[in-house]
């Protein structure tokens, strides 16, 4: 069992994570879907038994029982918080889609979705911070009682980092703030107030990005 060497998510919001739950026909994946600022829906899918097995393997070994929260990051790494740590469960290449009375709730942006439109997909994603003025993107990595600030410019250079940050800031705003990227490499941001919708920021195209952590199964 491997503690994840990369950025470990720590979002407490119920709609910011997936979870494995036990149903009448076995375990399945659940999404606490934020329909609007006042409405939530519990959506499930049983189309991903291999993913369920990955998550439960970690949960069983660390906590002694299956089920619970997990994430999939932009590198398709399955991240499972358990016992106070975040574990790497494997790499999962398939998209999680949920039937919402007909329409599919998907982490993949529709072809007609443009940056600045409302993001109606899942709010599960990995949190980064867009710096004010679109200068850079950063995250904070915690190791024990130490905290390390990691900037995109440190990894890819100031020019490349500023190019992506500026593109996102055109939509998010020059003041910056929290942004998220999901398993389909779609960027979105939370609303500025409780009455607004999440906003779509665009896709991670050929932009330079943080390097994927060295984990088993990565080519």
What are the pLDDT digits (tens) for 89-115? 999 999 999 999 888 999 999 999 999
Q: In what order do the strands lie in the sheet with 137-143?
A: 146-151, 137-143, 126-130, 177-181, 186-189, 199-203
Q: Under DSSP, is residue 9 helix (H, G, I), strand (E, B) or coil?
A: coil
Half-sphere exposure of 39 (CA within 13 A, CB side): 6
Reported as a single tens digit per residue, the pLDDT across 1-47 is 899 999 999 777 888 999 999 988 899 999 999 887 788 899 999 99
Distances (CA, A) of 185 to 46, 67, 73, 204, 208: 23, 26, 8, 5, 12
Reported as a single tens digit per residue, the pLDDT across 149-188 is 999 999 999 999 999 999 999 999 999 999 999 999 999 9
User: What are the residue ranges spanned by the domains of the chain?
Assistant: 2-95, 126-203
Query: Of the candidates 56, 67, 39, 34, which has an alpha carbon nearest to the alpha carbon of residue 180?
Result: 34
Reported as a single tens digit per residue, the pLDDT across 111-152 is 999 999 999 999 999 999 999 999 999 999 887 788 899 999
CA dist., res. 89 & res. 77, Å (int): 7
């Amino acid at each position: 069992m491997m503690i994840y060497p990369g950025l470990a998510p720590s979002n407490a919001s119920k709609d910011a994570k997936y979870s494995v739950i036990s149903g009448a026909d076995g375990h399945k994946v659940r999404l606490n879907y934020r329909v609007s600022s006042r409405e939530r829906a519990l959506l499930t899918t049983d189309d991903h038994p291999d993913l369920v097995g990955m998550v439960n393997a970690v949960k069983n070994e660390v906590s002694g029982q299956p089920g619970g929260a997990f994430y999939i990051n932009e590198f398709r790494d399955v991240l499972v918080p358990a016992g106070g740590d975040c574990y790497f469960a494997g790499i999962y290449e398939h998209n999680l889609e949920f039937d919402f009375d007909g329409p599919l709730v998907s982490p993949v942006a529709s072809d007609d979705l443009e940056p600045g439109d409302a993001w109606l997909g899942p709010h599960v994603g990995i949190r980064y911070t867009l710096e004010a003025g679109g200068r850079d993107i950063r995250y904070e990595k915690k190791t024990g009682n130490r905290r390390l600030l990691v900037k995109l410019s440190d990894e890819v250079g100031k020019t490349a980092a500023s190019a992506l940050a500026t593109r996102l800031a055109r939509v998010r705003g020059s003041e910056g703030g929290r942004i998220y990227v999901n398993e389909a490499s779609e960027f979105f941001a939370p609303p500025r107030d409780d009455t607004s919708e999440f906003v779509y920021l665009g896709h991670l195209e050929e932009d330079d990005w943080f390097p994927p952590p060295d984990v088993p199964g990565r080519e």
